[in-house]
Amino acid sequence: MYTTNAFAAPAAGAPLRAMTIQRREVGPRDVLIDISYCGICHTDIHTVRGEWGERSYPIVPGHEIIGVVAAIGTDVTKHQVGDVVGVGCMVNSCRECVSCRAGEEQYCAKGVIGTYAAVDVDGTATQGGYASRIVVTEDFVLRIPDGLDRAAAAPLVCAGITMYSPLRRWGAGPGKKVAIIGLGGVGHVGVKLAAAMGAEVIVLSQTLKKREDGLKLGAAGYYATNDPDTFTTLAGTFDLILNTVSARVDMDAYLSLLGTGGTLVSVGIPPEQLALHTFSLVMGRKTLAGSLFGGIAETQEMLDFCAQHNITADIETIPAQEINKAYERVLASDVRYRFVIDVATLS
């Protein structure tokens, strides 16, 4: 077993603190990674605070991991010592169900195994990337292309693929009009990706305070949703809308912005149930959909696309000792646009 420095939540709602954890020995198909950077995702906060159901503690969060391969198992063929690699939201799956065989391990019929707060196939609790080291089976380790800044690439393996997957699935590209609801840690990457795919991108945000940022990121327009005129001006405009916010929104109002046959995809997960009128869907043959993140192959495709187009997240790098403060700032929307932990500060 490996003893590893980590920052963990000892109980639901408790501040994270430094502690040591145990990692399993490197098996024949495993990769040992020395973690360099780990992004902070809103999911981390929901999970450690027990807002998405009961969990076993302590929990080491973090599923936006960038590091360097330190050792490999005897049967590993995909990675070598010294490779720069990443680990995203999952570390295993059944490999046998229809979804897994289709390369969509995130929808594993038996339940995808998350990078933290889950149980791996060996019965051990998974612990995430707010730690010095991690051991992951090689099939769930991603190659980080040369040229991508390591710290700024960390959020791509969560926020990046969360946006890339629905953009690809619903055909964002030249001639398509795409709206991104929310210019936050996920939405700002979505604007960059959709623009690089050739779509016309519009940001829909509560206010105009981030308008200059949105236009610099590649948006062709920026509208305030607290202005009722926005929904009149943009009615019937979009082929695709991606909703990134984790709060209740007026689904009927946003569906009215779709053209005939358009799709609204939710990637944000609010705690409350959402309501809508069926007429908002049938009048215009519109679709309301959801999307998680992507499978391993699609995530690698996304990373290669980002390297080709020089896309990374806009980040603020912090030492581990500021994680609790960073959580409060995330909840206050006081970050542009993603916190990334310098894991070297753990030691």
What's the CA gap between 253 and 280, in Å, rounded? 9
Does residue 121 carry a pLDDT above 90?
A: no
Q: What's the predicted TM-score (pTM) here?
A: 0.95
**pLDDT attached to residue 75:** 97
**pLDDT attached to residue 271:** 72
Does residue 248 carry a pLDDT above 80?
A: yes
Cβ contacts of 24 within 8 Å, gap of 6 or more: 1, 2, 30, 122, 124, 135
Does residue 1 carry a pLDDT above 80?
A: no
Strands 84-87 and 90-92: unpaired
What pLDDT digit, counting tens, does each position of 201-232 carry? 999 999 999 999 999 999 999 999 999 999 99
What's the CA gap between 66 and 266, in Å, rounded? 27
Q: Are 40 and 327 spatial neighbours (Cβ–Cβ below 8 Å)?
A: yes
What pLDDT digit, counting tens, does each position of 269-328 carry? 877 788 889 999 999 999 999 999 999 999 999 999 999 999 999 999 999 999 999 999
The 3 state secondary structure assigned to 152-197 is HHHHHHCHHHHHHHHHHHCCCCCCCEEEEECCCCCHHHHHHHHHHC
If you average pLDDT over every residue of the chain, what do you get? Answer: 95
Does residue 141 carry a pLDDT above 90?
A: yes
Residue type at position 86: G
**pLDDT attached to residue 303:** 98
Structure tokens belonging to residue 295: 């499978």
**pLDDT attached to residue 68:** 98
Cβ contacts of 252 within 8 Å, gap of 6 or more: 276, 277, 280
What average pLDDT does this structure show over 96-125? 94
What pLDDT digit, counting tens, does each position of 3-58 carry? 999 999 999 889 999 999 999 999 999 999 999 999 999 999 989 988 777 788 99
Q: Are 244 and 206 spatial neighbours (Cβ–Cβ below 8 Å)?
A: no
Q: First-to-last CA distance in the chain?
A: 18
What's the CA gap between 239 and 252, in Å, rounded? 16
The 3 state secondary structure assigned to 68-137 is EEEEECCCCCCCCCCCEEEECCEEECCCCCHHHHCCCHHHCCCCCEECCCCECCCCCECCCCCECEEEEE
**pLDDT attached to residue 275:** 86
Structure tokens belonging to residue 11: 């109980």
**pLDDT attached to residue 272:** 75
Does residue 240 carry a pLDDT above 90?
A: yes
Does residue 330 carry a pLDDT above 80?
A: yes
What average pLDDT does this structure show over 139-165? 97
Q: Are 257 and 233 spatial neighbours (Cβ–Cβ below 8 Å)?
A: no
Cβ contacts of 163 within 8 Å, gap of 6 or more: 186, 187, 189, 190, 193, 194, 242, 244, 267
Q: Are 242 and 179 spatial neighbours (Cβ–Cβ below 8 Å)?
A: yes
Q: Element (H or E) spanning 319, and its range? A: strand 315-319
